[in-house]
Structure 1
């Protein structure tokens, strides 16, 4: 049985750990708010971009750019967007579990983030490339991934490109989502609305109605504009997914560190109670010994 000194030493160790997890919780909370706000701020631009794409499609007739060409799928590429670090609960394991559902024979992988690359390599799947992502995602990060995916598709090395990322639903809820990136379908919205429990009291504006009264004039032609617009739209979609993934990562880490801090405090309380009981038992024993000795001398 541990002594009072051993228990006090353990209390000190747990208290130091609690300080670390509390600090990590506060840092993750701060980064989470910034990541949520960044994802929200990009939505107005997305609605306008998709509105212009829809208008262009209405003016091109049967013309479809190469990025919209439907082909029989012989091989697929899966882009996996993951955190670079752990300590974010089951988020990484859920991503890996979803990624491994794809056929290893017909699927090749592209990793964005260290955890995805490590998992794909460890599980002996085909990893074509690995990309880094900044703590605050940059549009250049998304552009590099998008360019690589477009090259694979246009060279017919793959006939379908999908993206696996973690969609941010709320502070305590994040969900792995597989998104069809190529070939491009009709204009669509990439991710679910951010609905944080705190910090987002205003509802997200409704999507732009694609068939509204606003008409656009395209120069030199709608097909030419569409050819230029589609790669940019792909860049944006991947950028949006990176923002969603970062918001999910920081939310999961904040919740995980909060749970760790709470568990540490509970353990400190339990150990302190045990220490006090042992100390009280020792005092009681000494009093009994003194009383017994006094009675024996009477």
Structure 2
């Protein structure tokens, strides 16, 4: 286990971005969700509103949770839960018995506890729990979950093979995994992505092909592993939202350029524990 894999020893860029810098408070990530969004065609007509933006982020969660199959009564784990607002959405709309939100960053978990105080401290059975842990070293028992999902966090994981192995371990037989994030279809794209996008240049995001994760999941015991591009529902809408805050040619606008050049795309990856 390397230092970066231990929950207390995050890479410096991850520690700063999700700690003191508090990415969740940046207006571009309105609503406390930290993802690029899953956009509807009509969202591209006219200036995007904050309501459009929040809905796009909620819809990305719905896209992932829908791909995991029926979730009512199940035990769910979100890897990289951030403020836990996606956990709350899952509880409110999908009827699981309980959702566990896991994040490597203690400051994110503190914010998540404040944001979800009603779910954590309310009467009745515990519907939400928040746990500190790394994607590569999950603090859970074997077969503890019916579904493991992750929304726009895998681009930060140090070791996708270990994440896949841990996902397989904590899933019950027949349990489902659903992961969405952005990957580099061309394994040689890393230098160009670092030129275009600051988050790849500073090491916050790691350029890897989606096959690195799909192959690792299959080797770890998941069957029916599927990888679907959803970039057409992510990048144009994200860029449209950015257009009201960032000028063309600034680095955040280069996400769409990287997609158009085939350097980057967005995927939903699913599989079932054998």
- TM-score, length of structure 1 as denominator length: 0.27
Bigger fraction of residues in strand: 2
Bigger fraction of residues in helix: 1
Which structure has more relative contact order (CA 8 Å, sep 6+)? It is 1
- TM-score, length of structure 2 as denominator length: 0.29
